Amino acid sequence: MSFVIPQPHLAIIGSLNIDFVTTTPRCAQAGETLTATSLTITAGGKGGNQAVAAGRASFSSPDKQDGSVRMIGAVKANDPNYKTLLEPTLQTSGVCTNGIALLSDANAQTGSATIIVEENSGENRILVVPGANHSGMTDVDRIHWEVIDQTTMPLPQVVVLQGEIPRATTLWALECFNRAEGLPHVVFNPAPVYPEGIPLEALLGTSVLIMNETEAGQMSQTIAGFSFSGPVQEAVDLDGLRPEELSSRFHMLARVQVVLITLGAKGVYFSTRSGRSGYVNGVKVAQVVDTTAAGDTFVGYFSSDFARFVATGAKLDMFDDVIEMVVEKANAAAAMCVQREGAMQSIPFAYELQ
C-alpha cells in the first residue's frame, strides 16, 4: 500500500525590497564620515524573505520541492532590479510570483532598504522606504483573490503576515482569515509593530503569533488591562514578568493557539493554548556574519512545517506533539542564516540542514 504525504501550501502577504547593504567596521556617529568595507545590492523585504525561507524549507533535495509557496506583493513595473534580482531569487527558491502586482504609476517605486552591518558583531541597522509595499498593497479585493485563486496552485493551508505593508491591509487579513471556516490558518509576525498597535479584536483566533523580545513587549500593549514596553528579558528583571506569563495572556484573551518568542542567541520560548510550553536552546555558531534575515528565516521555516501539519487534517491541539521539533528545525535554519552575508541569499535550503 502506498501513502500520499501531505504537501504544504502557503501564501505570504507582504513586502518586497531591494536591499542596499553597506558593511562597515562600525557605524558612524552624527557628523562623522567613515570608510566602509563594501556595498552590495541584494533581494529582500520581510515578506520576500519569509517566502524564500518557506520555499527553501520545502526542498528535500536540490531537485525536489514538496509543496508550494505563493508571494503576494507589489513592485514597480519594469524595475530592472526586480526582473534581474528579486524575481529570479524568488523563483529559484520555489516561490510562485504570479501574485506580485507590477505597478505602472510613475510615482510608484519598488520598496528599498538601506542596511548597515557592523563587521565584528554582525548587528544591523535598517532604513526602509516602503514604496510599492504600501501604494500597491491597499487593494484587499486583489489580495483576497490571490490567496483563494486555485487556478495555478491549491488553496493554502497557511497565510503568513508581517508589518511592512499598510496596517489597514494587515487588520483586514487578520479579521478575514481568523474568522472564516475553511480558510487558511494565520501565522502573524508583527514586525515591525505598528505604532498604533493591533486591536485585540483583529488578533482574536490567530493560529500562530511569532515575536522577538522587543515585539513581544510592544504587542503586550494590545492586551486589555496590561501594558508593558521593552524586551521581555528586561521585564524579568524589572517587573517579574516572564515569557510564560506574557504568552498566557495572548492565549486567554486573544485565543492565540501558538505563541513563539524568539530570544536571539538564547533560543526560543514556545507555548500552545492546549498547554504545551518550553524553551529551545539557541544554536552556537562559529561566527555571526549578518543577522539581517534570521528572524524571517525562522518564520518561513516554522510556517512551512506548520502548513505541512495542517495539511494532514489533524486537530490543532495535536501540534503539541511536534512543536518542539518544528521550532528546533526553524532555529537551526536561522543559525545557518546568520553565518552568511545578505538577506535572501543567506537563507538555507532544507537539504543543507541535513
Closest CA to 191 of 169, 213, 158: 213
Average pLDDT over residues 39-58: 94
Alpha-carbon separation of residue 107 from 110, 127, 136, 174 (angstroms)? 10, 20, 11, 29
Annotated binding-site residue numbers for ATP? 212, 262-267, 295-296, 331
Residue written as cell 506580485?
100
pLDDT at 217: 80
pLDDT at 325: 96
Annotated binding-site residue numbers for substrate? 17-19, 45-49, 164, 296
Q: Which residues of 30-55 are buried (b: 16+ CB within 10 A; e: fewer)?
A: eeeeeebeeeeebbbbbbbbbbbbbb
CATH superfamily for domain 9-28+37-345: Ribokinase (3.40.1190.20)
pLDDT at 329: 95
Average pLDDT over residues 172-194: 90
pLDDT at 4: 62
Neighbours of 273 (CB within 10 A): 20
> Is residue 296 annotated as a catalytic residue, yes or no?
yes
pLDDT tens for 122-177 read 788 888 899 999 999 999 999 999 999 888 788 999 999 999 999 999 999 999 99
Annotated catalytic residue within 149, 296, 320, 321: 296
Annotated binding-site residue numbers for K(+)? 290, 292, 337, 340, 342, 346
Q: Reply yes or no on whether the pLDDT at 51 is more than 70.
A: yes
pLDDT at 236: 44
pLDDT at 230: 53
The torsion angle over the Cα atoms of residues 192, 295, 92 and 56, rounded to 10 degrees, is: -140
pLDDT at 224: 47
Q: Are strands 158-161 and 9-13 parallel, antiparallel or unpaired?
A: parallel
Q: Reply yes or no on whether the pLDDT at 61 is more than 80.
A: yes
Neighbours of 287 (CB within 10 A): 8
pLDDT at 266: 85
Q: Reply yes or no on whether the pLDDT at 354 is more than 70.
A: yes
Q: Are 126 and 295 in contact (CB under 8 A)?
A: no
pLDDT at 181: 74
Residue written as cell 533535495?
61
pLDDT tens for 264-308 read 888 899 999 999 999 998 888 777 776 778 899 999 999 999 999
pLDDT at 238: 33
pLDDT tens for 197-244 read 888 889 999 999 999 888 888 887 766 445 544 555 554 443 445 788
Strand runs labelled E in 213-281: 258-262, 268-272, 277-280
pLDDT at 115: 84
Contacts with 45 (C-beta within 8 Å, 6 or more apart), sequence order: 14, 15, 16, 17, 19, 73, 111, 113, 133, 164
Alpha-carbon separation of residue 131 from 136, 167, 198 (angstroms)? 8, 15, 22
Average pLDDT over residues 65-74: 96
| Residues in the chain, overall count | 354
pTM of the shown model? 0.90
Alpha-carbon separation of residue 106 from 55, 76, 132, 135, 195 (angstroms)? 32, 9, 11, 12, 29
